[in-house]
Amino acid sequence: MDFKKLADEVSQEVLAFSRDTSGWKVTKTSKKITVSWKPSRNYDGHLYRAEGIIPETPAKLIQFMYLPEHRSKWDRSLHTYRMLHRIDSDTFILHTITNSFAMGSIAPRDFVDLVHIKYYEGEKVIVSSVSVEYPQCPPTSSYIRGYNNPCGYVCSPLPENPGYSKLVMYVQPELRGNLSRAVVEATMPTNLLNLIHDAKDGIKAQKAHSAHSSPKGHSSSLLHKK
């Protein structure tokens, strides 16, 4: 499979999602986070959109959202999140195992995804992903293998405050197994709200840790050394 070609196609599809402003139906809001949906063109289900403001620049936020060394620390929905293969500096194959959710009514799933980062003018950054088959990580009897239709994050700086980002997430997962569509549709909006809440909390905790661990009284003097 030509992973780089596929990654570019999915990136363009996520960009198209971000430009499509019609037909979205708001399903849940909380603390300035909004979740909407519309019928998916990729499968018999919903394409979900979650929007929120994050106190970080797009370039830093994107790394926080997808790199295992960051995301495994803040995303409570994940049991395991690891990189299987680095194709190039902006393209990877990742393996995810979720925790159970919906009070245990939905068992853990695992996913193998092709992930690609693309940078645009105006400091916009898109991380796109889609599930792929990867022989080195075949499905096992331990988890139900889910499938992510084209999905991703779109991060753009706020014009009035470039140190903050507007984060827009697009997801359309097929959890498979014996789940009814109604169960998935009832739980997905809350999961997306929680994901953005967790990302905000993780960013705040990371900044607090960095501020606490930085030596006091040295930064300004170091700036003046030649």
The answer to whether residues 169 and 198 touch, using CB atoms and an 8 Å cutoff, is no
The answer to whether residues 64 and 54 touch, using CB atoms and an 8 Å cutoff, is no
pLDDT at residue 7 in the model: 97
Q: Among 53-62, 112-121, 138-147, whose mean pLDDT is lowest?
A: 53-62
**What is the rounded distance in angstroms from the CA atom of residue 226 to the CA atom of residue 222?**
9
pLDDT at residue 67 in the model: 86
The answer to whether residues 10 and 129 touch, using CB atoms and an 8 Å cutoff, is yes
Give how many domains the chain has, as a whole number: 1
pLDDT at residue 181 in the model: 86
Domain membership flag for residue 38? yes
**Mean pLDDT over residues 113-121, rounded?**
95
pLDDT at residue 210 in the model: 73
Domain membership flag for residue 11? yes
Going by their DSSP bridges, the two strands 151-158 and 125-131 should be labelled as antiparallel
Whether the per-residue pLDDT at 164 is higher than 50: the answer is yes
Structural domain range at position 66: 3-207
CATH of residue 106: 3.30.530.20
Domain membership flag for residue 220? no
Burial class (CB in 10 A: 0-12, 13-18, 19+), 63: middle
pTM above 0.75, yes or no: yes
Domain membership flag for residue 221? no
Domain membership flag for residue 174? yes
Whether the per-residue pLDDT at 105 is higher than 90: the answer is no
Structural tokens at position 204: 């705040």
**Mean pLDDT over residues 146-161, rounded?**
95
Domain membership flag for residue 137? yes
Question: Amino acid identity of 86?
Answer: R
